[in-house]
Amino acid sequence: MANLTIVIEGDTLKRARMRALEEGTSVNAVVRDYLADYAGMTAQKEKAIHDLLRLSQSAKTRRGNRQWNREDLHQR
């Protein structure tokens, strides 16, 4: 793991620390998670997308030739 030094306004850091404390985490963890998302999809998201695509390809149901219109979809 690498270290990162950033400059943040004192008031901003104080509020971030208070919010992190309320959420049971740390500013370091929040920044680390944000950067992981910013840099790309996390492994968990990648697996979820892969699983969803695999399931959709193996699904037995098909839409068919039905063309839905607004009245059909909103009929009560």
In a domain, 67, yes or no: no
pLDDT at 63: 65
The two three-digit tokens of residue 34, written as one number: 């944000």
Confidence of residue 19 (pLDDT cuts 50, 70, 90): very high
Q: Whole domain around residue 43: which residue ranges?
A: 1-57
Percent above pLDDT 90 for the chain:
41
Burial of 53 (0-12, 13-18, 19+ CB in 10 A): exposed
Count of helix runs (H) and strand runs (E) in the chain: 4, 0
In a domain, 64, yes or no: no
User: What rounded mean pLDDT belongs to the chain?
Assistant: 87
pTM, whole model, 2 decimals? Answer: 0.53
Domain count across the chain: 1
In a domain, 5, yes or no: yes
Mean of pLDDT values over 66-70: 79
In a domain, 76, yes or no: no
Question: Per DSSP, which regions of the chain are E strands?
Answer: none
Mean of pLDDT values over 19-37: 93
